[in-house]
Amino acid sequence: MTSEDPQGVRLAKRVAALAGCSRREAELLIENGAVRVDGTVTLLPQARVLPAQDVRIEPGARPVEVPPVTLLLHKPAGLRIEDAAALLVPANLFTGSGAMARPMLPRHVLAQRCVTPLDPLASGLLVFTQEWRVERKFTEDADYIEHEVTVDVAAAVTPQQLAQLNRAPVRVSIGRQGAAGTGLRFAMKGLVPGQIPHMLERAGLEAQAIKRIRVGRVPLAGLPSGQWRYLQPHERVP
């Protein structure tokens, strides 16, 4: 070690020397999880390594671009979209039943765009994507993508109020009704933030809780609040 690099060298530089490849190819090997430092997968090309540390490249690994991904997040109520995006970290990756098992790579959360915004007070399913085809679908076909949302109101909902809410193309039904209030279920296309609170206000109602449970053909299902998962290959949101 020289006086110029008291903390070691960049991992990408070390991998490039080991593999006899370019620095960019070394970065791709690292970002794909193909490099171990002292037996542990290290995903950051800028990480520093000391000469005594053991750096190994998985046999057969290829320096290919990390493909873009789409992520599904269960947003807790009270968070703005930018704050919800901060939950896209390894500690919040859902690994329960039905989730696709794959390592999170740093590039998976870079330049993620939310294509299904929600009101800050609402909770439920958010879709983030790096895939231009998915983003274009949500942009161009927004008026045709159905959203399913549950809404709790404190009051009993009269038939007249339900009829006022239930105007095409919105379908509203009562899921439960009792002394504690009413649970409504909205199925509507082209949902935009503020739309449901405005509809309720016009009907003389106020939401206690709003939760989106489905976007297109993808349900929130068993995804816990504050956690996220990868959109699986067989799933299609729109």
Span 110-126, pLDDT tens digits: 789 999 999 999 999 99
Find out whether 21 and 9 touch, Cβ atoms under 8 Å. no
Q: Quote the pLDDT of residue 2.
A: 47
Please determine, for residue 1, whether its predicted confidence score (pLDDT) is greater than 60. no
Span 60-87, pLDDT tens digits: 989 988 889 999 999 999 999 999 999 9
Please determine, for residue 28, whether its predicted confidence score (pLDDT) is greater than 70. yes
| 22-26, 46-50, 167-171: least confident range | 167-171
Span 217-226, pLDDT tens digits: 999 999 999 9
Domains parsed from the chain with CATH numbers: 9-57 (3.10.290.10), 70-230 (3.30.2350.10)
How many Å apart are CA 236 and CA 9, to the nearest integer?
43
How many Å apart are CA 237 and CA 214, to the nearest integer?
9
Please determine, for residue 109, whether its predicted confidence score (pLDDT) is greater than 90. no
The residue whose two tokens read 């503020």 is 194
Residues shown for the chain:
238
Q: What is the mean pLDDT of residues 176-183?
A: 90
Q: Quote the pLDDT of residue 100.
A: 67
Q: Quote the pLDDT of residue 234.
A: 87
The residue whose two tokens read 């939310």 is 114
Q: Quote the pLDDT of residue 101.
A: 67
- Pull the structure tokens for residue 27: 């970065």
Range list of H helices, the chain: 11-19, 23-31, 81-85, 132-140, 159-165, 195-202
CA distances (Å), origin 198, targets 23, 183, 194, 207: 54, 17, 6, 10
How many Å apart are CA 58 and CA 153, to the nearest integer?
56
